[in-house]
Chains A and B, each alone.
Chain A
């Protein structure tokens, strides 16, 4: 009887540990989309986006070890039609790479779309700067009918370059540095 109770207790501990582990994976998000809003300037809709980075020790260790992270922002502009199928107006991606140069001891952020590269002395500065994206051109006004409802959908993901896929597959349960955020959305105009 006592053995059975001990066994049940053991199982419960294991289940609890697993749940805790899973929860930690869920909540320790390295990248989180906080807010997005769009404004119309000179016939172009721009978006201001707030991203919150919270790199864990593993990310920092990976970054400092020489791994390069890709941060992809995927925009989707959709004409939302009630009672009908939504219409996709356009989609665009913005990719940043972030790496640490051991020689310069600086973190470099490269906008792969523009080729513009900025280095920062600390990771905090880097992530802070990277987390505030202002005036990102989204769509031309000519494509928009003001009488309809348009929504901007944004999702982001972070991927570690240089880790073979098979290693990622094998170690999916451990130090998984790839992450995909949930999608957020905001109206193109109010």
Chain B
């Protein structure tokens, strides 16, 4: 990337240098055009520089254009806009340049045509003719003088002196006498002229022979014109060898100068005429080169300009995309001080503020999340159930206690409308149905709701309040608690209190009653006849027996009301069961019992007396239940249960008696409830109490075919607690 940027910089510098050189060379060409020689000298290198610049630019423009088209084809970001801008700018520059080139070429061609106007040429030709006619007179004069001089020559003796005299008389520059073989016979030359004799050619001699004279006008290298005359010297010719006199006269300097001037102008004009087409081509070429250079500069400039213009927009688009994707750590480099630069700065500012806002939002979210977690923890820790509904009665929150109280997995109900839940028929729907019927009438209430189970009822104390949220949406809050156990405990406490009072009040008079009955029998037994004695004995026995029964009842009351004072120890339940059953079988003389014991149940922590009391009550009830059965069977079983909250032992006493009726099943463990004709109604209540003291629970149910089953579940370790 760095290398690419360096290359770009170098390229730009080269372009700038070439363009500067081209501009400089063109200016030089423009100023040099005043001096043709300088112009000619500079023209080639200047054109070479411009041609090189042109080709370098052409290559650059081609490469840039190709790159642009490739980018466009690949649908690169911003390529479309760049291409469009380049085309627009390029077209905008091409059209005026083309128009200027067209008109400039036309004007230039017309201008050049004007130079070569026919009238100019005619004028020059006329001037030439005029000058020539002026010189013709001098040529004729020279011929006349030469002819005369040839006649004046008298002999070849002292020929040079004769020629000298004649030359001075005639103002000739040179007089030369020569033969046909071009041998010089005599001569006289102006000393100062410095001219060496210029011999005529044979052709000139021949012409002089045929025409008796030959004249010519020569231009010297110094710009002077010379008149050359060749005439035969008839008087000196001897032995038929002809001699010739060549006279050279100078043209009048003023006339010569004018003639030279006309000739030079004519020649210059002629050269220009000859070079007219190449000149036109060269000017058009130069103009075309300049125009093409300007055009390429414009196109290259448009490509670069559009690139520079679009680059920040591309960066903005990329930035926007990054922001849309959530990346706020983006900063677009400054793009000058124009509107786009302001836009870029605004974007950077916006992103900065967004990042700041996002950080703040993130912090707030963390706080909310923390508060939510805290609330969740509080709600999870609450023993009371909480259900939150929105104003459309959709469930938004249910805490774990609610799930436990209503004995349902509430997770699927989150987001459900309560009216859909009501259609189901479980404990949860019962509760929701009853609560919703009240919600619709009052904004705040606290009531007890009774839920019916198959074998029991559950009492729920429910509070409702309609709250308003910060967004003014109503929040419906239901807080409830299972008070069934509380009510039962309250009931049991009340019964215990009654039992304690009864035991206290009844137990005390029982002993005097019994003693009085015994004393009565003892005192009057000897005094009464057999019939009366029999009557007395029966009556006192009845009193004593009833007192015993009442004492038993009072003891039972006492047991029920007695505060727990357990002595926990490790005991082998299976062994305890074996012993208890053996005792019962001996005492009751029965063989009803069948033991199904789990060997895994080794020892449990418990109070032996209390457990034996539990077994006594359960087995007594079972025996009572099977009294009327032909083949009584009482099955006692143990089973080790492993649950999440620890190990438990399950003790079941199953009989094939008459079982529980519906009411009995619901109230089996309530004090003073019994199906038996004789009974205190405290047996199962005491069992329940003792089981509770061991942190266990008991349930009563009917067997599928016949009889009842009472199941006790107690933890193996005392400290274990149960949620039942």
A in complex with B: yes
Known: A101-B263, A117-B218. 10 other contacts (CB 8 A): A64-B270, A65-B267, A65-B271, A66-B270, A67-B274, A103-B128, A103-B131, A103-B262, A169-B44, A170-B285
Question: How far is B217's CA from A55's CA once the two chains are assembled, in angstroms?
Answer: 25
Q: Are B220 and A164 in contact (CB under 8 A)?
A: no
Identify which of A62, A103, A104 contacts B274 (C-beta below 8 A): A62
User: Shortest Cβ distance from B454 into chain A, in angstroms?
Assistant: 101
A121 interface hit (Cβ, 8 Å): yes
User: Shortest Cβ distance from B108 into chain A, in angstroms?
Assistant: 15
Q: Are B271 and A67 in contact (CB under 8 A)?
A: yes
Q: Per-residue 0/1 for A60-72: is the Cβ within 8 Å of any B Cβ (1 yes, 0 no)?
A: 0110111100000
Contact residues of A between 125 and 148, Cβ < 8 Å to B: 125, 129
Q: Per-residue 0/1 for B203-240: is the Cβ within 8 Å of any A Cβ (1 yes, 0 no)?
A: 10000000000001111110001000000000000000
Identify which of B39, B44, B132, B273 contacts A65 (C-beta below 8 A): B273
Identify which of B221, B263, B278, B282 contacts A103 (C-beta below 8 A): B263
Q: Are A104 and B218 in contact (CB under 8 A)?
A: yes
B27 interface hit (Cβ, 8 Å): no
Contact residues of A between 156 and 190, Cβ < 8 Å to B: 162-167, 169-171, 174-175
Q: Are B270 and A115 in contact (CB under 8 A)?
A: no
Instruction: List residues of chain B with CB within 8 A of the CB of A66.
Output: 266-271, 274
Q: Are B43 and A165 in contact (CB under 8 A)?
A: yes
Q: Are B221 and A61 in contact (CB under 8 A)?
A: no
Question: How far is B217's CA from A62's CA once the two chains are assembled, in angstroms?
Answer: 22
Q: Which residue of A lies closest to B228 (CB)?
A: A119
A108 interface hit (Cβ, 8 Å): yes
Closest A-B pairs by Cβ, 8 of them: A66-B267, A65-B270, A66-B270, A166-B43, A65-B274, A164-B40, A103-B263, A104-B217
Contact residues of B between 1 and 57, Cβ < 8 Å to A: 36, 39-40, 43-44, 47
Instruction: List residues of chain B with CB within 8 A of the CB of A164.
Output: 36, 39-40, 43, 282
B259 interface hit (Cβ, 8 Å): yes
Question: How far is B278's CA from A67's CA once the two chains are assembled, in angstroms?
Answer: 14
Question: How far is B216's CA from A174's CA once the two chains are assembled, in angstroms?
Answer: 36
- 12 A-B contacts (beta carbon < 8 Å): A65-B270, A65-B274, A66-B266, A66-B268, A67-B274, A102-B263, A103-B259, A103-B262, A104-B217, A162-B271, A165-B40, A170-B278
Identify which of B40, B203, B270, B285 contacts A102 (C-beta below 8 A): B270
A110 interface hit (Cβ, 8 Å): yes
B107 interface hit (Cβ, 8 Å): no
Asked whether A103 and B270 contact (CB < 8 A) given A163-B275, A164-B39, A171-B281, the answer is no
Instruction: List residues of chain B with CB within 8 A of the CB of A163.
Output: 275, 278
Instruction: List residues of chain A with CB within 8 A of the CB of B40.
Output: 164-166
B279 interface hit (Cβ, 8 Å): yes
Q: Which residue of B lies closest to A64 (CB)?
A: B270
Q: Are A170 and B221 in contact (CB under 8 A)?
A: no
B468 interface hit (Cβ, 8 Å): no
User: Shortest Cβ distance from B297 into chain A, in angstroms?
Assistant: 23
Contact residues of B between 255 and 269, Cβ < 8 Å to A: 259-260, 262-263, 266-269
Q: Which residue of B lies closest to A67 (CB)?
A: B271
Asked whether A167 and B274 contact (CB < 8 A) given A102-B267, A103-B262, A117-B221, the answer is no
Q: Which residue of B lies closest to A115 (CB)?
A: B221
Question: How far is B217's CA from A64's CA once the two chains are assembled, in angstroms?
Answer: 17
Asked whether A170 and B271 contact (CB < 8 A) given A102-B263, A117-B220, A165-B44, the answer is no
Instruction: List residues of chain A with CB within 8 A of the CB of B131.
Output: 103
Q: Are A103 and B47 in contact (CB under 8 A)?
A: no
Q: Are B219 and A102 in contact (CB under 8 A)?
A: no
Question: How far is B260's CA from A163's CA once the two chains are assembled, in angstroms?
Answer: 21
B201 interface hit (Cβ, 8 Å): yes
Q: Count chain A residues whose beta carbon lies closer than 8 angstroms to a beta carbon of B.
A: 31
A118 interface hit (Cβ, 8 Å): yes
Question: How far is B215's CA from A104's CA once the two chains are assembled, in angstroms?
Answer: 11
Instruction: List residues of chain A with CB within 8 A of the CB of B203.
Output: 125
Most chain A beta-carbon contacts within 10 A, residue among B132, B221, B270: B270
Q: Which residue of B lies closest to A177 (CB)?
A: B274
User: Shortest Cβ distance from A60 into chain B, in angstroms?
Assistant: 11
Instruction: List residues of chain A with CB within 8 A of the CB of B201.
Output: 118, 129
Instruction: List residues of chain A with CB within 8 A of the CB of B274.
Output: 61-62, 65-67
Question: How far is B219's CA from A147's CA once the two chains are assembled, in angstroms?
Answer: 49
Question: How far is B219's CA from A101's CA once the two chains are assembled, in angstroms?
Answer: 8
Question: How far is B217's CA from A108's CA once the two chains are assembled, in angstroms?
Answer: 11
Instruction: List residues of chain A with CB within 8 A of the CB of B132.
Output: 103
Contact residues of B between 263 and 308, Cβ < 8 Å to A: 263, 266-271, 273-275, 277-279, 281-282, 285
Question: How far is B195's CA from A115's CA once the two chains are assembled, in angstroms?
Answer: 11
Q: Which residue of B lies closest to A108 (CB)?
A: B219
Q: Are A104 and B282 in contact (CB under 8 A)?
A: no
Question: How far is B578's CA from A6's CA once the two chains are assembled, in angstroms?
Answer: 126
Q: Which residue of A lies closest to B273 (CB)?
A: A65
Instruction: List residues of chain A with CB within 8 A of the CB of B260.
Output: 103
Instruction: List residues of chain B with CB within 8 A of the CB of A118.
Output: 198, 201
Identify which of A119, A167, A169 contacts B218 (C-beta below 8 A): A119
Asked whether A166 and B218 contact (CB < 8 A) given A66-B268, A102-B266, A102-B267, the answer is no
Q: Which residue of B lies closest to A164 (CB)?
A: B40
Instruction: List residues of chain B with CB within 8 A of the CB of A171.
Output: 277-278, 281-282
Question: How far is B282's CA from A166's CA once the two chains are assembled, in angstroms?
Answer: 8
Q: Which residue of B lies closest to A103 (CB)?
A: B263
User: Shortest Cβ distance from A128 into chain B, in angstroms?
Assistant: 10
Q: Are A167 and B263 in contact (CB under 8 A)?
A: no
Q: Which residue of A lies closest to B274 (CB)?
A: A65
Q: Are B267 and A166 in contact (CB under 8 A)?
A: no
Instruction: List residues of chain B with CB within 8 A of the CB of A166.
Output: 40, 43-44, 47, 282
